[in-house]
Amino acid sequence: MGVYTSRHRTDAAPKRASESDAEFFERIAGPFWDQVRDVINEWWSHFPPDAQPSLRSRLRDRNSNANVFSAFWELYLHEMLLGSGCTVEIEQQIGTGGKNPDFLVTRDDEQFIVEAIWANQHLDATGSSSLPPQVADAIDRIPSPNFYVSYKVDSIGSTTPPQKRLKSELTGWLANLDPDLVTAEYEQKVPLPRHTWQEADWRLSFEAIPRSPGRRGDPASRTIGFHPSVWVADDSKRLLKAVRKKGGRYGDLALPFIVAVGNSAVFPEDEDIESALYGTSVEYAHRTGSTFGRNPDGYWTAAQEQAHSRVSGVLTVDNPAPWTWTKKVPVLWQSPTRGSLPAPVLPTWETAQLVDNHVERKPAARPIHTSLALPEHWPSGDAFPRRQPSTGS
């Protein structure tokens, strides 16, 4: 038994709005995704038998996308450690906190602890969250080989809007538009064609956007090209909260302790991680020039608590996912506090260290894919290959 069954899959459509991540990974067809499922099954089999059921349950959790990607993160970390020549024990009784950290790692003659956490950035949307997922899916399934649409939710009804007339109206409207004519008129400053649909207290506004000539002719491609604008909620303290949550959880461990953060963010920035761990940078102006320092608001630079020195390092990977596993370089941010035990550094990790209020980086000795036993450009092929339109004789 594995995480995913081996069977013939035929549905190669991109992820639907109403579909959970677990459902998507089980459903999606194509060689690209077969590679992903095969590796996940193999890596899952490398866990001890008593740890496999709970991990499998999380990977197949249809009610929590965060749970799925948190399990992916632990799967990746475990395999990376094994591929770096380590032995890994799962949730061993260690420390004075009465809880069991994720991984007790042994490499040569040294041991250390790795605790995983998935830090997901929260997004706020202006309107897109108001459109029921099944309605977004219905719009995406409208055959529109020549146009994308953008939409705006002008008013919201109390129940899910009926989809039959919506699909019929949009299909007819788009079919009567000429993409070359619309493009030419747009170049002359004529606004793009618009259509308003209203029913049962719902009001949706649509705009037709011509596909480029090379992207036309595929009636199975997505119709929604642009969703309403999304803005990133203020979560500058997200990584700081994640490390704080795990840093003091296990008491005294008497071993180097690394908190591994899967940093899921729309626009991940190293500066945000630096500020969370080492404090925000500040410039002090003097008559003869200026100097740089750090505010005491970082994990290791705040008014010191004993628990903070227990964390030897924070390992981060930006947006880790099956399609980025062999490409994203892990970074070990090393503790600057004297009370911290030194964190071991694996060959595939880049390091960051605070030196005189500046962060110094050192590159990894080996590419990350070497510790995963995967090619650098894995998975191979296209995730969503373009379908060629059928031609009649």
The contacts of residue 316 (CB under 8 Å, 6+ apart) are 239, 260, 261, 263, 273, 330, 331, 333
The DSSP bridge pattern shows strands 331-334 and 313-318 to be: antiparallel
Q: What SS3 state is found at 239?
A: helix
* Nearest-10 crossing angle of helices 164-175, 133-140: 30
Both tokens assigned to 127: 């309107």
Kindly state the DSSP code that residue 348 receives in the 8-state scheme.
T
Most confident residue range from 54-58, 234-238, 262-266: 54-58
Q: What's the mean per-residue pLDDT of the chain?
A: 90
Identify the weakest region by mean pLDDT among 5-9, 103-107, 296-300.
Answer: 296-300
Q: Return the closest-CA partner of residue 372 out of 79, 34, 47.
A: 79
Q: What is the DSSP letter of 50?
A: T
Angle between helices 31-45 and 52-59 (to 10 degrees): 150
User: Burial code of 154-171, b = ≥16 C-beta within 10 A, e = fewer?
Assistant: eeeeeeebebeebbebbe
Residue among 367, 304, 355, 393 at smallest CA distance from 83: 367
| Mean pLDDT, rounded, for 140-159 | 90
Retrieve residue 331's tokens: 């970074």
Neighbours of 33 (CB within 10 A): 23
**What's the rounded mean pLDDT across residues 149-162?**
88
pLDDT at 158: 84
Q: Give the DSSP H/E element, type plus range, for residue 70.
A: helix 65-83
Q: Which of 88, 87, 84 is nearest to 116 (CA)?
A: 88
How many Cβ atoms are within 10 Å of 306's Cβ, its own excluded?
A: 9
In the prediction, which pLDDT does 230 show? 58
Q: What is the pLDDT of residue 20?
A: 96
Rg (CA), the chain: 25
- Structure tokens given for 175: 């079919």
Strand pairing report for 281-286 and 289-294:
antiparallel
Contact yes or no for 249/261 (Cβ under 8 A) = no
376 has pLDDT over 60: yes
pTM given for the model: 0.85
**Backbone dihedral angles phi then psi of residue 236, each to the nearest 5 degrees:** -60, -20
Closest by CA to 131, choosing from 194, 64, 206, is: 206
Do 68 and 57 touch, CB atoms closer than 8 A? no
Query: What is the reported pLDDT for 343?
Result: 96
294: phi then psi, degrees, rounded to nearest 5: -130, 135
pLDDT digits (tens, 9 = 90+) for 172-219: 999 999 999 999 999 999 999 999 999 888 999 999 999 999 888 876
214, 249 contact by CB (below 8 A): no
pLDDT at 259 over 50: yes
Of residues 115 and 391, more confidently modeled: 115
| Rounded-to-integer distance, Cα 185 and Cα 290, Å | 55
- Terminal-to-terminal C-alpha distance of the chain: 47
Q: State residue 283's pLDDT score.
A: 77
Q: How far apart are CA 55 and CA 59, in angstroms?
A: 6
Whether the Cβ atoms of residue 155 and residue 201 lie closer than 8 Å to each other: yes
The tokens describing 8, both together, are: 């013939």
- Express each pLDDT in 30-58 by its tens digit: 999 999 999 999 999 999 999 999 999 99
Per-residue confidence (pLDDT) for residue 127, from 0 to 100: 43
Q: Is the pLDDT of residue 305 over 90?
A: no
Residue 392 has pLDDT above 60, yes or no: no
Q: How confident is the model at residue 159 (pLDDT cuts 50, 70, 90)?
A: confident
Give yes or no for a contact between 115 and 102, defined as CB atoms under 8 angstroms apart: yes
Is the model more confident about 294 or about 218?
294
* Residue 24: both structure tokens together: 């998507």
